[in-house]
Chain A
Amino acid sequence: MTISTESMDGGITRVLLDGRLDIQGAAAVDLRMNVLAGSSKFLLIDLSNVSFLGSMGLRSIVIPAQAVNRRGGKVALFNPAPMVEEVLKASNIDQIIPIFHDLGSAVAALC
C-alpha cells in the first residue's frame, strides 16, 4: 500500500492511495493519513487504485475524516472501484462522506 499527495486549487489536498487497504495496508498508511488530516482543511481521498477495502481500512478513512471535520474542513472520496464502493455503502460510510466519480463534482463539493 502506498500513499502520495497532490495539492489542488482551492486548498484541496488530494490523497492518492494505491494497493490493498487491508490490515497491513491500513497499518502502512495510518500515520501519514492522520498527519494529513491534521494539516489539511479539504481532503479528497482518491480510491481509484485501491483494489481492496476491509473494516480496518475503513478506519483509516473515517478517523482522519473525523479529524478534518472537527476542524471545520471537508472530506470526499473519489472514484472507488465497484466492490470497494459496495464496502463503503454496506458500512453506511457513503452517507456521511460523499463519494464522487467525477473530479469536477468532487472539487465543487469540497470548496
Chain B
Amino acid sequence: MLMDNPQDRLELDSQLAELSRVQPWIEAVANRHGVAEDIRFAMQLCMEEVLANVVLHGYRSEAGHPIVVKIFVSAGTLFFTIDDQAPPFSPIEHGSRDDGKKPASLASIQPGGNGLRLLRHFGGSLSYERLADGNRLTIGFAAPMKSASI
C-alpha cells in the first residue's frame, strides 16, 4: 500500500546534481524506520545506481524529466518504487550478470558497467513494471527494523 505521507515521496529532476538530495532523504527514511547500517548502505547504493542509470541512459542526461521515488512498508519489508518516463528499460532483464569467472586481468576489464550487478547483489528484491508512460522499478529491503509503522 502506498503511503500519503509527503516524507515518503521524493521528486527529482533528471540531472545527476539532483542525486545529492537522495542520500539525506534515504537517511531520514532509514532513521524513521530504524534501519540497520548495512541495509542503509544497500539502500543508498541501489538508489544511486538506479537513479544514475535513469538519468544517464533513460533520459540520456537531458534535464527536465521527472523521477518520482516513493516508499511503502509491507510485511516488514521497506520498498522503494522509482517511476520515470524514459523509454522502456528493465534493469532486471539487462546488464552484466556474475558468471563466477575471475576477470582475466586488470587491463581487460571495463572500468564501468557494475551498476546493475551491484543493484542485483544489494537489492533484496527487484520487480519491474512497464507503465503507460514510463517505467516502475520496485526494490525491497527485508530489513530488521525497530518499527515498521509510519
Whether B111 lies near A83 (C-beta < 8 A) is no
Contact of A90 with B117 at beta-carbon distance under 8 Å, contacts A70-B107, A96-B106 already known: yes
Closest 5 CB pairs of A and B: A90-B121, A55-B115, A62-B111, A55-B114, A83-B41
Which stretch of B16-24, B80-88, B125-133 is in the interface? Answer: B16-24
**Number of B residues with CB within 8 Å of any CB on chain A:** 29
Q: Chain A's interface: helix, strand, loop or mixed, by majority?
A: helix
- Specify which chain B residues have a CB less than 8 angstroms from the CB of A63 in the assembled complex: 111
Contact of A54 with B49 at beta-carbon distance under 8 Å, contacts A62-B111, A92-B98 already known: yes
- Specify which chain B residues have a CB less than 8 angstroms from the CB of A54 in the assembled complex: 45, 48-49, 52, 115, 118
Q: Which of A52, A69, A83, A86 contacts B107 (CB 8 A)?
A: A69
**Number of A residues with CB within 8 Å of any CB on chain B:** 27
- In the bound complex, what is the Cα–Cα distance between A69 and B103 (angstroms)? 15
- In the bound complex, what is the Cα–Cα distance between A82 and B49 (angstroms)? 19
User: Whose C-beta in chain B lies nearest to the C-beta of A27?
Assistant: B16
Whether A23 lies near B19 (C-beta < 8 A) is yes
B: which residues have CB within 8 A of A? Answer: 16, 19-20, 23, 37-38, 41-42, 44-45, 48-49, 52, 98, 102-103, 105-107, 109, 111-115, 117-118, 121-122
User: Whose C-beta in chain A lies nearest to the C-beta of B38?
Assistant: A83
A: which residues have CB within 8 A of B? Answer: 20, 22-24, 52, 54-56, 58-59, 62-63, 65-66, 69-70, 75, 82-83, 86-87, 90-92, 95-97
Whether B118 lies near A90 (C-beta < 8 A) is yes
Q: Chain B's interface: helix, strand, loop or mixed, by majority?
A: helix
- Specify which chain A residues have a CB less than 8 angstroms from the CB of B19 in the assembled complex: 22-24
25 A-B pairs within 8 Å (CB atoms) are namely A22-B23, A23-B19, A52-B41, A52-B44, A52-B45, A54-B49, A54-B52, A54-B115, A55-B48, A55-B52, A55-B115, A56-B52, A58-B112, A59-B111, A62-B111, A65-B106, A75-B106, A87-B45, A90-B117, A90-B118, A90-B121, A91-B118, A92-B102, A95-B103, A96-B106
- Specify which chain A residues have a CB less than 8 angstroms from the CB of B52 in the assembled complex: 23, 54-56
